[in-house]
Structure formats: structure tokens, C-alpha cells
């Protein structure tokens, strides 16, 4: 399950310690993810993985670059 930190966290997992920065996502087994969501309520959230089916071949993608302005 993909979990995103909303604040900086130190997470103790079985066998290791994990530092997660705000906005950083980590993929955890469901059991650990649910435990983290329960213990760190309001500090982490579930993130839906990107759906590649939403990408349409040949579609124009536009974004705003702080350096170059609007890019395609």
C-alpha cells in the first residue's frame, strides 16, 4: 500500500528504521500500512498509485515551468 507522509517522520519497521520526508511516498505491506495509519493518524495518508490507463498516447501534455513558463 502506498503511504505518503504529511510531516517528517521516523518510522520503526521490523528490522530497520525509516525516515520519511513530507510529500515522500513509501510502499508498505498492508498490515504495516494500516498500523501506521492508525498510529500516525493525520500525519500520513493513503496515496492511490498512478493509473497508466489515464494516459492517452498522442495526447498533448502541458505544464507550467518556473524557469521556462508554459511547456508542451
- Tens-place pLDDT, residues 34-48: 999 999 999 999 998
Sorted by where each starts, the structural domains of the chain and their CATH numbers stand as 1-48 (3.40.5)
pLDDT higher than threshold 60 for residue 16: yes
- Band of residue 13 on the pLDDT scale cut at 50, 70, 90: confident
- Separation between Cα atoms, residue 33 and residue 2, nearest integer Å: 8
Looking at residue 54, its pLDDT comes to: 65
Residue 54 DSSP symbol: G
Q: In the chain, count H helices and then E strands.
A: 1, 7
| Mean pLDDT score of the chain | 85
pTM, entire model: 0.63
φ, ψ for residue 57 (rounded to 5)? -55, 130
Provide, for the chain, the percentages of residues in helix, strand and coil under a 3-state DSSP scheme, each rounded to the nearest 5.
20, 40, 45
For the residues 58-63, what does the mean pLDDT come to? 77
Amino acid at each position: 500500500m502506498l503511504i505518503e507522509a504529511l510531516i517528517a517522520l521516523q518510522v520503526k519497521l521490523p528490522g530497520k528504521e525509516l525516515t520519511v520526508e513530507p510529500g515522500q511516498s513509501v510502499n508498505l505491506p498492508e498490515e504495516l500500512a494500516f498500523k501506521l495509519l492508525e498510529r500516525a493518524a493525520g500525519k500520513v495518508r493513503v496515496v492511490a498509485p498512478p493509473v497508466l490507463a489515464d494516459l492517452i498516447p498522442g495526447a498533448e501534455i502541458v505544464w507550467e515551468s518556473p524557469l521556462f513558463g508554459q511547456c508542451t
